């Protein structure tokens, strides 16, 4: 590390500037690639009520000094912080005045670039040459889990995960206050983040790359993270919900509540170990879903976490939270459910390959080629309820709609800004900047209903959706002010 800093200090200014330009140019190129994933999806009505619409609606409320609730999609709403203890939405809320419904799409996209640059800085800090450090950026931004996160709305866990390289960087640099601030920022993103960052910090404290003077700080942060998440999940969020339970404890294998999870770890270790790899919910192809994740993750660089066991143990809390969940979708490779592995792999793989006795370019080239192959396999994933045009940036369907989406957006923009609206899921993100908004079929006191018959009827089945549409056409309470193939607007009489 010392040699690396010395080289930078003695390097002529012109050469130093040229060296910095190369990784920044690569970062810009990768940024364009991810912009091609995320931005067309929002422009073409391929973002949805859950979660971009809900979170953007929350931004609008927080920006107006209102504590938002989950009435957009729940019959019995509770405060949003009882659904997910996500303080980023409060922090980012002023941006909604500048970037509107695009705010969280832009925030998530920028966070990926910040994370990639952090990986580059970490690898340079520990002495890797510029080329190997740039490989880390490529690995991060070509990892299948990162593409999944870009393609599937917005999630604060993505923003939090992309700050991990900066936490590691400030730890290596012996900058305790900066490391603590990054740690605090990360745990603000979601209620369970401390269950990952806590053990990770404790493991990082024993790493040879961490100065001795930082180890006590890491131990304090790690313990604080676990306590913070435990208190938030077990007491704070149930109190906010008023129901006495944490809404997202979908872990029947661990017991009825969060506190039972700690005892389950030592009461049935074999069952828990088995559930990391085998279906424990008796669903169709359950074990195959888990196997697919393991194959893609290991081929995409997870093997490096095995070679460096300390780094592999840092990923273990992520694996446990993923595989012990009752929802098979969480086990899978789709959406944002694998993004947290990306920074660990992006840092570890170049470190491992740098230590290979025969340091030839083909080693990293082969590793990246296999990673890209896994990402392409992910893009071609054949899950029946997923719209694959959201992720296949190499096909024309990603950049087009089979109907005039601009007309649909224009009609929605023409609706009164203060009117209460019930809207079909793909319309919700574009109507989110208002006081009252519901995801259809919730209607409540809505003055307008916005339906897009050519889009997915979620959360209704197609038959139930068609029945509701016929009922609205026949209702004396509603008037169809626009009635076309691609959009139907109802106004309360």
| Res. 359 pLDDT band, cuts 50 70 90 | low
How many residues are there in the chain? 493
| Res. 255 pLDDT band, cuts 50 70 90 | confident
Provide the 8-state DSSP code for 355: T
Inform me whether the pLDDT recorded for 1 exceeds 90.
Answer: no
pLDDT, residue 445, reads: 94
- Give me the mean pLDDT over the 300-328 stretch: 95
CB of 94 closer than 8 Å to CB of 138: no
Evaluate the omega torsion of the peptide bond into residue 459 and state whether it is cis, within 30 degrees of 0. yes
Residue in 395, 285, 283, 292 with CA at minimum distance from that of residue 334? 292
Inform me whether the pLDDT recorded for 8 exceeds 90.
Answer: no
| Res. 386 pLDDT band, cuts 50 70 90 | low
pLDDT, residue 381, reads: 72
Sign of CA dihedral 288, 293, 297, 303: negative
- Give 437-466 pLDDT, tens digit per residue: 999 999 999 999 999 999 999 999 999 999
Q: Which residue has the higher pLDDT, 234 or 17?
A: 234
| Res. 19 pLDDT band, cuts 50 70 90 | low
CB of 379 closer than 8 Å to CB of 135: no
Question: Distance between CA atoms of 207 and 366, rounded to whole angstroms?
Answer: 28
Inform me whether the pLDDT recorded for 3 exceeds 80.
Answer: no
Q: In the predicted model, what is the mean pLDDT of the chain?
A: 91
- Give me the mean pLDDT over the 240-254 stretch: 85
pLDDT, residue 4, reads: 41
pLDDT, residue 11, reads: 46
CA dihedral angle for residue 192, residue 194, residue 200, residue 205, rounded to 10 degrees: 180
- Give 47-93 pLDDT, tens digit per residue: 999 989 999 999 999 999 999 899 999 988 889 999 999 999 999 99
Question: Distance between CA atoms of 356 and 352, rounded to whole angstroms?
Answer: 7
- Give me the mean pLDDT over the 141-169 stretch: 96
Count of CB atoms within 10 A of residue 290's CB?
A: 21
């Amino acid at each position: 590390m010392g040699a690396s800093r010395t080289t930078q200090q003695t390097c002529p200014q012109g050469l130093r500037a040229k060296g910095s330009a190369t990784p920044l140019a690569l970062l810009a190129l990768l940024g364009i690639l991810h912009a091609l994933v995320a931005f067309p999806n929002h422009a073409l009505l391929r973002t949805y009520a859950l979660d971009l619409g809900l979170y953007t609606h929350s931004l609008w409320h927080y920006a107006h000094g209102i504590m938002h609730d989950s009435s957009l999609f729940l019959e019995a709403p509770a405060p949003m912080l009882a659904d997910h203890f996500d303080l980023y939405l409060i922090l980012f809320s002023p941006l909604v005045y500048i970037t509107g419904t695009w705010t969280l799409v832009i925030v998530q996209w920028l966070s990926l670039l910040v994370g990639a640059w952090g990986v580059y800085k970490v690898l340079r800090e520990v002495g890797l040459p510029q080329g190997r450090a740039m490989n880390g950026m490529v690995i991060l931004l070509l990892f299948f889990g990162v593409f999944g996160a870009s393609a599937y709305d917005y999630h604060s866990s993505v923003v939090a995960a992309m700050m991990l390289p900066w936490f590691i960087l400030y730890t290596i640099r012996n900058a305790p206050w900066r490391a603590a601030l990054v740690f605090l920022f990360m745990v603000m993103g979601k209620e369970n983040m401390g269950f990952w960052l806590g053990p990770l910090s404790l493991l990082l404290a024993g790493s040879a790359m961490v100065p001795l003077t930082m180890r006590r700080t890491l131990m304090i942060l790690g313990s604080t993270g676990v306590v913070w998440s435990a208190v938030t999940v077990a007491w704070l969020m149930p109190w906010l919900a008023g129901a006495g339970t944490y809404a997202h404890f979908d872990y029947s294998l661990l017991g009825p509540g969060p506190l039972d999870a700690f005892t389950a770890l030592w009461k049935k270790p074999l069952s828990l170990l088995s559930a990391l790899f085998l279906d424990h919910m008796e669903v169709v192809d359950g074990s195959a879903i888990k196997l697919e994740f393991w194959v893609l993750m290991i081929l995409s660089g997870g093997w490096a976490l095995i070679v460096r066991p300390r780094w592999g143990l840092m990923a273990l809390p992520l694996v446990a939270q993923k595989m012990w969940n009752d929802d098979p979708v969480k086990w899978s490779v789709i959406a944002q459910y694998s993004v947290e592995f990306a920074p660990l792999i992006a840092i570890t793989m170049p470190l491992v390959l740098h230590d290979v006795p025969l340091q030839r370019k083909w080693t990293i080239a082969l590793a990246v080629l296999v990673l890209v192959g896994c990402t392409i396999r992910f893009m071609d994933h054949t899950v029946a309820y997923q719209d694959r045009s959201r992720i296949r940036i190499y096909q024309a369907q990603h950049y087009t709609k089979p109907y005039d989406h601009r007309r649909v957006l224009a009609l929605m923009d023409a609706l009164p800004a203060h009117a209460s609206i019930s809207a079909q899921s793909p319309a919700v993100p574009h109507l989110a900047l208002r006081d009252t908004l519901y995801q259809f079929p919730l209607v409540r006191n809505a003055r307008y209903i916005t339906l897009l018959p050519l889009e997915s009827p979620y959360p209704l089945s197609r038959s139930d959706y068609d029945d509701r549409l016929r009922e609205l056409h026949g209702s004396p309470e509603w008037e169809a002010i626009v009635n076309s193939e691609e959009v139907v607007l109802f106004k309360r009489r």
